[in-house]
Amino acid sequence: MYEEYMKLALEEARIAFQEGEVPVGAVIVKEGKLISKAHNMTETLGDATAHAEILAIREAGRVLGGWRLNGCTMAVTMEPCPMCAGAIVEARLDRLVTGAFDFKSGAAGSVYNIVQDKRLNHRVQVIYGVLQDECTNLLKSFFMDKRE
């Protein structure tokens, strides 16, 4: 089940790659149904907040008619940053499925753990490393291309 969600997120990440964006994709699923999908668009939109997770949360809220995303699972190809982790908590997502770890600024267990911080009013279940190699390799390929 989680691998299927991550495959959908990877499709979005590949679109980001083709558009010259950092290749991160996210999907939100509720009761086995795809609610929203998005990829990074920070460069395209000139918006520092246009991360895949934020865009997917906004779309899911529109589809479901509210900001509370209880009962939803997000799959994202790279561990969320602090901004996105905070949004995941605020949106009340039940579950987060991650692919690649982010050992520089990850906020779902690597550097920080905002999504499970007991001081906050909501905690998110996290499933780590789903299709990790595929997610990591896509990111590495993108940054190797950028360096060349």
Q: CA 27 to CA 74: how far, in whole Å?
A: 6
Looking up tokens 């495959």 gives 7
Q: CA 54 to CA 37: how far, in whole Å?
A: 10
Residue in 53, 79, 90, 148 annotated catalytic: 53
Nearest to 9 by CA among 144, 124, 130: 130
53 is catalytic: yes
Residues marked active site are found at 53
